[in-house]
Structure 1
């Protein structure tokens, strides 16, 4: 039998964190191993238990989500972090991902989105809520320096398509822009997903941004 994913929750809103714990406890493949009020509690709690995935509120007293993430990456780099927030504040989005978070979700999303994100992040993939994806893309493009490390993994055409995905274009729009068929676009996207070990467009773009593959 597969071991359950060990999950911890850190949020200064008692009602939110307890409700989230109760809901997640119904998932047979998830095990709640810690529930904390703020970043300082997280650092203390991780001395006792070591979750696979930490759901971390961005706005907390004593030590906020950004600073907590930075410290966790030094002390416990194996813990994967999903940021939870009521805001899609641009500075927070970029800062938390740069600090080492693997996911970014808004609190008003569905429970199923949280559960899916936990499973995706536990499997080593990145998850960013669609509501903030364009913010992430825009900021990485503004600040990242171009890297050529994609060469040898992706073809030139696949990189062209990845750039179009980052611009939010549909398959049909990509086909028109690159003067190829929609079927060819779909085949290239499938190849990109396989090579990058991702499951959707958001994951592909976020990974490419982290690797600084996209132009400024």
Structure 2
């Protein structure tokens, strides 16, 4: 396995992040480790440091992990990305593969499988958590071939704004975070509401939870 000079560890749960950090620090191939709990920060950090590997949670504030994968791979297709998720459903794995992820690891098994998963993706082989049946995933992909996930009708920017709205971020704060005007945010919000046929914030929150943009903590 080649040297991992720079690794980004992205998870919004500090205890989980610290546990995973302890494991990767024990791997002699791993050099510098950078940490964040925010999806947008992963994209920014990737642009700044050009990491070798990103270990990335799916459920992240500001920008969902699946959206992060798409943006990072557009910036640098050589970056390896190992997804961490609490979801074992084939629809999540299928979306991760579509986004360009190199591996998919269930959080429950992360501590036992992490080193194996990292070594596998660094050897240019896609890794799927042992708790997931590859045949089920491929069957799901074939059955859904030609169909679009509900979220696919939105543009990447609309998906991002939807997530921020669902997280309870105000219009002004969204504008500040994305470095755009309030009017631009309002325009995107109106457009995504029209596309989804949802015209109230509670409805948007329910939709965001259903498609996995945010996690239901209730």
TM-score where L is the length of structure 1: 0.61
Partners of 1:142 and 1:5 lie apart in 2 by: 40
Question: Is the 8 Å Cα contact of residues 66 and 92 (structure 1) preserved in structure 2?
Answer: no
Partners of 1:102 and 1:68 lie apart in 2 by: 13
- Greater than 6 Å deviation, 4+ residue runs: none
Partners of 1:38 and 1:136 lie apart in 2 by: 28
Secondary structure of the residue aligned to 1:33 is: strand
What displacement does 1:80 show?
1.1
Question: Is the 8 Å Cα contact of residues 5 and 122 (structure 1) preserved in structure 2?
Answer: no
Secondary structure of the residue aligned to 1:27 is: coil
**Residue equivalent to 2:127:** 127
> Per-residue displacement from partner, 1:13-32 (whole Å, max 9, x unpaired)?
11111121122101111224
**Residue equivalent to 1:138:** 139
TM-score where L is the length of structure 2: 0.61
**Residue equivalent to 1:83:** 83
Structure number with larger C-alpha Rg: 1
**Residue equivalent to 1:43:** 43
Partners of 2:73 and 2:22 lie apart in 1 by: 28
- Residues 3 and 130 of structure 1, relative CA distance in 2, 3 Å threshold: closer
> Per-residue displacement from partner, 1:24-53 (whole Å, max 9, x unpaired)?
101111224311112101011112222221
RMSD: 1.9
**Residue equivalent to 2:7:** 7
Secondary structure of the residue aligned to 2:131 is: helix
Question: Is the 8 Å Cα contact of residues 34 and 49 (structure 1) preserved in structure 2?
Answer: no
> Per-residue displacement from partner, 1:54-112 (whole Å, max 9, x unpaired)?
11101111101111111111112111111101111332211111110011000111534
Write out aligned runs for 1:1-216 (5 A).
3-4=3-4, 6-132=6-132, 133-144=134-145
Secondary structure of the residue aligned to 1:130 is: coil
The count of aligned residue pairs is 144
Partners of 1:110 and 1:66 lie apart in 2 by: 18
